[in-house]
Amino acid sequence: MIEKKICMLGAFAVGKTSLVRRFVTSCFSEQYQTTIGVTVDKKSLTVDGTDLTLVVWDLYGEDEFQKLRRSYLRGSAGYLLVLDGLRRATLDIALRIQESVTDELGPIPFVALVNKHDRRAEWELTDHDLAELAQRGWPVLMSSAKTGQGVEDAFTTLSRALTQAPQPSSRADHPDGA
C-alpha cells in the first residue's frame, strides 16, 4: 500500500477542514470551526487500480495570526490549494502559498480547488480570475464541501498526479540525521 502525505493549504475559512471531513467521513457542518495547528487524517482509495493511502495534513489557514510553518510541509507529496470563491482575497493568499511551497518542496503536484461552488452566484472570483490561474498552468477545480460536489474528484485528481509523478527524493526518516 502506497502512503502519500498531502497538505490542505489556503487562507482561513476557505473550507479546508470541511473538505477533509467531507472526503474522509462524508459529513459537513455549517458551523465554522477554526483550525489551530495541524490535524492529520487518513483515507485509502484506489486510483487507476493503484491502492493508495492519503495522509491528509489539514493545516491551519493563513492569516495575520498564523503563518505557514514550513516544517509541516516536509515529506508532502502534493497539496490541495483551497480558495474561497466568495472572497477574492483568498486568491492572493493562494498565490503566495503556492510560491512558498514551490520554494520549499519544488514543483510537487497540487490542485487549486475553488470551494463554495454552491454559492456560485455570489462569487467575487470571476471567470477571468479562473482563466488567469489556468494560464499559469494550475489545475483548477470547483468544489462544494457542503454538497460534496467536486470533492472526491479533487482528491482523486491529486492522487492520480501523485501516482504518476516521479517519486520525491527520499528524506531521512531519522531525526538524528543518521
Residue 13 CB, shortest distance to another protein, in Å, is 6
Residue 88 CB, shortest distance to another protein, in Å, is 10
105 in Cβ contact with 75 (< 8 Å):
no
Q: Which is nearer to another protein, 22 or 87 (CB)?
A: 87
Residue 84 CB, shortest distance to another protein, in Å, is 10
Residue 69 phi/psi, 5-degree rounding, is -90, 115
58 in Cβ contact with 17 (< 8 Å):
yes
Q: Which is nearer to another protein, 45 or 86 (CB)?
A: 86
Q: Which is nearer to another protein, 75 or 168 (CB)?
A: 75
Please give the grid coordinates belonging to residue 91.
Answer: 486568491
Q: Which is nearer to another protein, 30 or 49 (CB)?
A: 30
Contact residues toward another protein (CB under 8 A) are 5, 12-13, 32-34, 36-40, 55, 57, 61, 63, 65-66, 69, 71-72, 74-75, 86-87, 89, 122, 124, 172-178
